[in-house]
Chain A
Amino acid sequence: MDHIIAGIDIGSATSKVVILREGGIVASSLIRTGADSADTAHRAMAMALKEIGLGLADLHYIVATGYGRIIVPFAHEIITEIACHAKGTHFVFPHVRTILDMGGQDCKAIRIDERGLHTSFAMNDKCAAGTGRFLEAMARALDLSIQELGPLSLQASESVAVSSMCAVFAKSEVTAMARRGIPQSTILAGLHEAIAERVHGLLKRVGIEPEFAISGGIAKNVGVVRKLEERLGLKAHIAPEPQIMGALGAALFAAERG
């Protein structure tokens, strides 16, 4: 029987599953996290298992991570998302030493060593700035989908200063700018610039190494990534599916421990 193991990452906005068989990814899933984390965990796992026609009983070991990790009913072990993002990113980019994970609810700057173990980290404190929730609120204020934000912002020839990074005040500010006729692309460029400035401060707390990666949902926003790269003078490594790095790390831990 093959050694099949899984990692599950219950984030505040999305939940992800990665299933490994003999060291390779054979299935994954990504769904919105619902109000019931246990139910979300079951649905995300069922979706990934369906891809390969297997059931929960076929999995030898499951590691849970993320904000809702303690309520995954079928997990054998729980590990923090910081360790899992470090592990997952190291697997994809072994030379990376600084990771910025920009998730739905928080932002984490992580320093890792050559083994993929975290040696230092910093997180934003009780503030939505720089998170997926913040960008979702801004997208709603501009009547755009979250996917449109990045490409649209790249069309801007200039950006406008957004003075507030509080999700509530920034939404009012953005709405007022739109009413004044400032193009959406210009507003978005300003928002992305402000986010880049804020997460730059977070990265400085752990130290920025040239080999640097971004994971999490916001890594898919080309506008934020571009602004951050310009500010840092570095090219960011981004995995083909940056949102599953935590679940991948959890699965890799499961492979070691299961």
Chain B
Amino acid sequence: MIEEFEKTIQDRHQAAMQWKEANQKKVFGYLCCLTPETILHAADVLPVRIFGSPEKLQVADEHLVPYGCRYAASCLDLAARGVYDYLDGVVIPNSCDLISKLEYWWKELVPRKGPTLAGVELCPYVLYIAYPEKRTGRKVLDYYKHELREFKQALERGLRREITDEDLSRAIAVYNEHYQLMGQLKELRKRSPLPISGSEAWQIEYASQLMPKEQHNRLLKGQLDQLSQGTKAASGVRIFLSASATDVVNARLYQIIEKAGGQVVSEDISCHTSYYGNTIQTNGDPLTAIAQHSLEIDCPRSTETCSPATYPYPTSRWDRTRSRLEGYNAQGAIFYIINYCECRAIEYPYLRDKIREELDIPVLLLQGDYSLEGLEQVRGRIEAFVEMIGG
């Protein structure tokens, strides 16, 4: 895999600090794919995703209940310990219950005083985005456009610069190229033999959330050229992976699956950009296009308005899951749900039954606690599952 991807992943904090120093620009951290990165990019900010680490909690467990998502707790813990001190701002959308409340804890554990006017922060360090719970419906787009406009205005105040429509259009062009290139990578992973291993594809995906998109696009183009020539192949039972919080900790799953004789060919994982199916529209108002694109994210955190035809379940999650399985000739589906990840736990029985009944593909459910030790405990089950499919 390309050295720059690996280097960025290995020391992501150093890479971001070096970029900041070299470019004399701001770096913002964000949680969750619901964050409109394009608006940050348009403001000349480098958006980097906040992830956790395998280290034990040192500070956050004094503040959080033990029965909460350990991934969110790990992100907060790193911030409280100063690991994310180089960030000039933090964007927190209301993705799940715990992450939405990180807004308060972040402010408490990483206090930064800024100017206020009539009790209102003029340049908030922590920016909150209220993404709609149901992402479809008559008034949703209007609401979310308004929310993003306020987010943009808060950024403009904080950065003391205007974000023009031209800035937004320029950012949209860069991100659209990114979505198209990632789409090409997904297409390559449909091939048999597989031209790239699951763990290598994860590295590309992961690095895209840590480095400037222009740099990532350039590196990925070169990589795609090599991969399309099909000089190397990864073999194994073809696996679809659906997983919570697949950052450097839970990404160990890829290695465990590969060691067991499997290969992840497609995924529906948190900490991933695969929810972006389409490009952002380039005709019309750019902020409306960004809002529209954002509302198309099929993250399990959201739901949608049910019509009498789709009652009682919304269909988009299943439709997208089906497309992640069928086109890739997946032979098995692994769901790895970390404890207290209610977003994935709630939809799991429905998706499991649909996969089994409509596609006749075996499904394995694994539960974890966002630790490397916890992943080792599921190794045997993954081996048995791959063995079962491989015959």
Nearest-CB distance from B351 to chain A (Å)? Answer: 16
- Contact between A123 and B362 (Cβ–Cβ < 8 Å)? no
A79 CA / B391 CA spacing, docked (Å):
12
Q: Which stretch from B73-81, B191-199, B376-384 is at the chain A interface?
A: B376-384
A118 CA / B388 CA spacing, docked (Å):
6
Number of interface residues of B (CB under 8 A): 11
Which of B362, B377, B380 is the one whose CB lies under 8 Å from A120? B362
Residues of the B chain whose Cβ atoms lie less than 8 Å from the Cβ of A123: 381
Residue interface mask A105-129, B partner, CB < 8 A = 1: 0000000000001111101011000
A17 CA / B383 CA spacing, docked (Å):
22
- Contact between B362 and A79 (Cβ–Cβ < 8 Å)? no
In this complex, what residue of B is CB-closest to A82? B384
Residues of the A chain whose Cβ atoms lie less than 8 Å from the Cβ of B391: 117
Residue interface mask B265-306, A partner, CB < 8 A = 1: 000000000000000000000000000000000000000000
- Residue among B381, B383, B384, B391 with the most chain A CB within 10 A? B384
Nearest-CB distance from A155 to chain B (Å)? Answer: 38
Answer yes or no: B329 CB below 8 A from chain A CBs.
no
Residues of the A chain whose Cβ atoms lie less than 8 Å from the Cβ of B255: none
Which of A67, A81, A83 is the one whose CB lies under 8 Å from B388? A83
A126 CA / B378 CA spacing, docked (Å):
10
A121 CA / B388 CA spacing, docked (Å):
10
Given A80-B383, A125-B367, the answer on whether A119 and B377 have CB atoms closer than 8 Å is no
Residue interface mask B361-391, A partner, CB < 8 A = 1: 0100001000000100100110110011001
Number of interface residues of A (CB under 8 A): 14
Residues of the A chain whose Cβ atoms lie less than 8 Å from the Cβ of B362: 119-120
A117 CA / B362 CA spacing, docked (Å):
14
15 A-B pairs besides A82-B381, A83-B388 with CB distance below 8 A are A67-B380, A80-B384, A81-B380, A82-B384, A82-B388, A83-B384, A117-B388, A118-B387, A119-B362, A120-B362, A121-B384, A121-B388, A125-B367, A126-B374, A126-B377
A121 CA / B387 CA spacing, docked (Å):
12
Residues of the A chain whose Cβ atoms lie less than 8 Å from the Cβ of B381: 82, 121, 123
- Contact between A118 and B384 (Cβ–Cβ < 8 Å)? yes
A197 CA / B388 CA spacing, docked (Å):
28
Residues of the A chain whose Cβ atoms lie less than 8 Å from the Cβ of B380: 67, 80-82
In this complex, what residue of B is CB-closest to A205? B365
13 sampled A-B residue pairs with Cβ under 8 A: A67-B380, A81-B380, A82-B380, A82-B387, A82-B388, A83-B387, A117-B388, A117-B391, A118-B384, A120-B362, A125-B367, A126-B374, A126-B377
